[in-house]
Structure 1
Amino acid sequence: MTDGLRRVDDLLRELAPRIVGALTRRYGRFDVCEDATQEALVRAARLWPGEGIPDNPRGWLLTVASRLLIDQLRSEDSRRRREDAVFAATPQSELLGRPADAIADPDAARSDRDDSLKLLFLCCHPSLSVPSQIALTLRAAGGLTTAQIAAAFLVPEATMAQRISRAKAAIRSAGIRFELPEGEATERLRAVRQVLYLVFNEGYTASSGDELTAPSMSDEAIRLTRLLRRLLPDDGETAGLLALMLLTDARRPARTRPDGALVPLAEQDRTLWTQSLIAEGVALISDALPRGEVGPYQLQAAIAAVHDEAPSMKATDWPQILGLYELLEMAEPSPMTTLNRAVAVAMVHGPGAGLRLVESLEADSRLARSHRLLSTRAHLRELAGEYDAAASDYREAARRTASIPERRYLTGRFLDLESRR
């Protein structure tokens, strides 16, 4: 992508939630407002690289999207008039709830009001499934096309289009309003953070496919989390989430070899890590931790900071990481946290202690189909010298993962141990 195309793409993603928000605030029909915005973004992406970015890009998008919205609403109105004679006598301005000319009001186009936070809360409404929340957030707040989202999650575009359409229909039928929640604000904010974290994780380690990472997803999650932090500058957990993403994404350049093969943390060339992201992440979490109640994202960011500041795996402050995992497990218990803590336990107290902790998770149904438990147990068994058992676990973990790079890595570990016999 050339610098000009990248500049247009970045600008459109930045403006997308503001256009959807401005239209939805004025007319209330999120579904048609989002459709009109998407079409306006497509037109801009086609025209601006050749004709140049207009002096008022937000006003340009708002005007084009507004006209598209008018056309769609008029089309719907015409259809309804044919179906029901009552609509034949209803003025267009009453149907829209505003005078038609107000939609493309130049003063409205110049408004700096930002409804992005409302939009994020709407996309992550608890009545929607998590996959629908993710898809809607990426399209409405992220400005991604349906095709881009489908490609990132390796599903057909038609499937993703249906998911987005169902989500918008659910918002409309439930009468969900475009406003900041009051009593449920904390829960909704937690949902927004979770969605952004899931998007980042899918980008950092793709759950399936030929590539280990999907950088467009992790980049978009970081961009949206920066936006959320700008909107909520005093929220410690949002700062923690952004810090966690930056500190984790800093390792991306060292995670794969030129052929795409996975490189585990212990073998990564740390000189390739992005130092500017590490510095920003460390500064963020250092500022957030002393300010108030410490949450799970802040604790995970602190763990990532300890890893990133260590010159090598051996020189890592594992007792500090273990202590942080113990706090994290108290703050937000989960089998994955316990599994990660098992590695820290092994590094501090030996692989046998780590394996005993892993064994306590073997009956947990939430990990029944995951390859993570098996790959972790294989690693600890290998450290303990239990090579036959480790080889068996590596082979089974390779069978279970849908990620081709992870499968190749785990298969390589199995073959390496088999060759030692």
Structure 2
Amino acid sequence: MTGAAAEARAAVERIFREEYGRIIASLVRRFGDIDIAEEAAGEALVAALEKWPEGGVPPNPGGWLTTTAGNRAIDKLRREKLRESKHEAAVVIQDDTPHEPVGAVVDDRLRLIFTCCHPALAPEARIALTLRLLGGLTVAEVAAAFLVQETTMAQRITRAKAKIKGANIPYRVPEAEDLPGRVGTVLAVLLLIFNEGYLSSGDGDPVRAELTGEAIRLARILHQLLPDDPEVTGLLALLLLTEARRAARVRGGELVTLEEQDRGGWDRELIAEGHALVRQCLARNQPGRYQLLAAINAVHTDAPTAAATDWSQVAALYDQLAHLDPSPIVALNRAVAIAELDGPEVALAIVDRLPLESYHAWHATRAELLRRLGRSAESRAAYDAALAVCDNTAERAYLTRKRGELVGG
């Protein structure tokens, strides 16, 4: 493959990845079948790989892919001679004609998220399937988000799709009264999609702005639907305050940690909007996981310099969060704050008790604490362990540099 051909192929795959969630959601609305949607989308990608490198990228690549996928789906239904009613519907339905009344949720992608979050599916299956379909994440990336093996995640997604088909779960717009019961899983999905964009688990672009932007767009719609749900407000605030720092997060292909970021490059409009939402949450006084995470980010973005960060307030917020969500990852993040208040030795004792050996951030945190304690050989080994399980290119560059700065590195 020539350099130009490889570059064209990479461009096609990037566009397809960016458009994947919209294409799948549109196809599921039209045809009511996840398998048909995925197969047709895959065939559209193949067609693009064949045509675009020679003929050039069309003016509206997303529309081209959606139209091509729709045509391939119709061809499939004709070939396989499925139910006459479905066949006829596939022939006559146009992209701008809803498959059914839109109900309370007016966005294809958000409707599909709620569909994947049907109560008949196990919570983890709901999240995994939605990340695969809406986030456009590969099975490997979804597995990384759950800290499980790729084969385990592939089986989980396959079972979820089989459950939808076997139980005849319809592609149905949830009624307004159904929304609160499903919103918890939807919030988890949006955060995972955002996190994958903010620091990608793959070996491609370290930051994927199309995913962070899509998560925020959907969170805004959800907030419009449920303006009085404090956790929905909290999630939107969290995403905005985190997104505000995105431009300063990577420099020269290397991750820039929070304390080293140029705060002049932070988006002050997003920060102001996020802080206003956090104040709304505080006024309700109904603390929840996403509200507390947003409040922690509000403390960080309120500090003019890293040295001015109110670590006692951060630690107190993590204490509240640990009460609601006593997970080892929350404990790991709390330990970072404890290191600033009580020193690295106290924090290391906390970190060493956490069962997170497969999580790269656990090794990276240990490496930093050991470095601060002057235990270079142990720190070096921890950096090596972090690099062994870290795929993000920018984070790997950062960890490699930090390892090299150790005495005797």
> Which TM-score applies when normalising by structure 2?
0.73
Distance 1:369 1:329 in 2: 21
Among 205, 218, 222, the residue aligned to 1:224: 218
Which deviations, in whole Å up to 9, do the C-alpha atoms of 1:27-62 show, x marking residues without a partner? x5555578779999999xx9xx97899xxx9xxx99
Change in CA separation of 1:42 and 1:112 when aligned onto 2, cut-off 3 Å: farther
Among 278, 281, 284, the residue aligned to 2:277: 284
* Equivalent residue, structure 2, for 1:171: 164
Q: Which has the larger radius of gyration?
A: 1
Change in CA separation of 1:16 and 1:228 when aligned onto 2, cut-off 3 Å: farther
Which deviations, in whole Å up to 9, do the C-alpha atoms of 1:86-132 show, x marking residues without a partner? x8xxxx4xx34998997469986998752645422212343536433
2:328 matched to 1:335? Answer: yes
Among 287, 294, 315, the residue aligned to 2:308: 315
Change in CA separation of 1:249 and 1:104 when aligned onto 2, cut-off 3 Å: closer
SS in 2 for 1:298: helix
Change in CA separation of 1:110 and 1:360 when aligned onto 2, cut-off 3 Å: closer
Change in CA separation of 1:106 and 1:64 when aligned onto 2, cut-off 3 Å: farther
Read off the aligned partner of 2:134 and give its amino acid letter: T
Change in CA separation of 1:306 and 1:29 when aligned onto 2, cut-off 3 Å: same
Change in CA separation of 1:37 and 1:317 when aligned onto 2, cut-off 3 Å: same
* Equivalent residue, structure 2, for 1:368: 357
- Range 193-202 or range 211-220, more displaced: 211-220
* Equivalent residue, structure 2, for 1:196: 190
Distance 1:170 1:377 in 2: 41
SS in 1 for 2:114: helix
* Equivalent residue, structure 1, for 2:146: none
2:156 matched to 1:136? Answer: no
Q: Any unmatched runs of 5+ in structure 2?
A: 1-14, 144-150
Which deviations, in whole Å up to 9, do the C-alpha atoms of 1:331-380 show, x marking residues without a partner? 1111111011111111112222212222332xx2xx12122222212222
Which deviations, in whole Å up to 9, do the C-alpha atoms of 1:230-272 show, x marking residues without a partner? 33222221221121111112111112223x0122211111111
Read off the aligned partner of 1:412 and give its amino acid letter: R
* Equivalent residue, structure 2, for 1:3: none
Distance 2:380 2:374 in 1: 11
1:42-61 to structure 2, matched below 5 A, reads none
Instruction: Please say if residues 358 and 389 of structure 2, whose CA atoms lie closer than 8 Å, have aligned partners that are also in contact.
Output: yes
Distance 1:360 1:250 in 2: 33
Distance 1:317 1:207 in 2: 30
Distance 2:154 2:361 in 1: 31
Change in CA separation of 1:255 and 1:118 when aligned onto 2, cut-off 3 Å: closer
Tell me how far 1:171 sits from its aligned partner: 1.9
SS in 1 for 2:306: coil
Distance 2:380 2:45 in 1: 51
SS in 2 for 1:138: coil
Distance 1:248 1:150 in 2: 24
* Equivalent residue, structure 1, for 2:387: 398
Change in CA separation of 1:63 and 1:110 when aligned onto 2, cut-off 3 Å: farther
Read off the aligned partner of 2:213 and give its amino acid letter: D
1:80-99 to structure 2, matched below 5 A, reads 92=84, 95-96=85-86
* Equivalent residue, structure 1, for 2:232: 238
Distance 2:319 2:66 in 1: 50
* Equivalent residue, structure 1, for 2:5: none
Which deviations, in whole Å up to 9, do the C-alpha atoms of 1:266-297 show, x marking residues without a partner? 11111111112211211222213322522101
Tell me how far 1:213 sits from its aligned partner: 1.8
Total equivalences in the alignment: 374
Tell me how far 1:226 sits from its aligned partner: 2.1
Sequence identity, in percent? 40
Distance 2:337 2:240 in 1: 22
* Equivalent residue, structure 2, for 1:206: 200
Distance 1:254 1:385 in 2: 29
Distance 2:402 2:95 in 1: 64
2:342 matched to 1:349? Answer: yes
Which deviations, in whole Å up to 9, do the C-alpha atoms of 1:133-183 show, x marking residues without a partner? 2112236xxxxxxxxx4499499xxx9999988765542222112342899
Instruction: Please say if residues 348 and 366 of structure 2, whose CA atoms lie closer than 8 Å, have aligned partners that are also in contact.
Output: yes
Tell me how far 1:21 sits from its aligned partner: 7.0
> Which TM-score applies when normalising by structure 1?
0.71
Change in CA separation of 1:399 and 1:35 when aligned onto 2, cut-off 3 Å: closer
Change in CA separation of 1:50 and 1:236 when aligned onto 2, cut-off 3 Å: same
Instruction: Please say if residues 22 and 134 of structure 2, whose CA atoms lie closer than 8 Å, have aligned partners that are also in contact.
Output: no
Distance 1:109 1:174 in 2: 20
SS in 1 for 2:336: helix
Distance 2:336 2:358 in 1: 20
Cα RMSD, aligned residues only:
4.5
* Equivalent residue, structure 1, for 2:403: 414
- Range 302-311 or range 63-72, more displaced: 63-72
Instruction: Please say if residues 78 and 87 of structure 2, whose CA atoms lie closer than 8 Å, have aligned partners that are also in contact.
Output: no
